[in-house]
Amino acid sequence: MLKLLEEATRAREEDGLLMAVALNHGLRVNEVIRIKPKDIRGGFLTAKRLKGSRVTRQPLVHRRSELLNGAEGLCYLAP
């Protein structure tokens, strides 16, 4: 998985971030690309789930691995 993230990040940093957030939070691609800055508040991510699931509020995941640490990139999006 790390090799895949490494290649995605090398190709385009945003792709690596998208994949890390999807992995860390169990989100589908369509759910990740719908994340807005207003969905990131106080160390939490509010995700609008698709396919009939509910909205979820999850703490941002912080990892030691820079490739897996999508929280850093998401915090960059937040105002």
Quick one: pLDDT at residue 1? 83
Q: Which of 59, 45, 65, 64 minimizes the C-alpha distance to 5?
A: 65
For the chain, how many structural domains are there in total?
1
**pTM of the predicted protein model:** 0.74
How far is the C-alpha of 79 from the C-alpha of 67, rounded, in Å?
23
Report whether 73 contacts 18 (CB < 8 A).
no
Q: Is the predicted pLDDT of residue 79 greater than 70, yes or no?
A: no
Which has the higher per-residue pLDDT, 74 or 48? 48
Distances (CA, A) of 65 to 2, 50, 59: 9, 28, 17
Range of the domain at 8: 2-77
- Of the chain, the percentage scoring pLDDT greater than 90 comes to 5
What is the per-residue pLDDT across 4-62, written as a single tens digit (0 to 9) for each?
888 888 898 888 888 888 888 888 888 888 888 889 888 899 988 887 778 889 888 77
Q: Which amino acid is at 58?
A: Q
Q: Which residue has the tokens 């940093």?
A: 13
Average pLDDT, the chain: 81
Q: Which of 12, 45, 50, 51 minimizes the C-alpha distance to 31?
A: 50
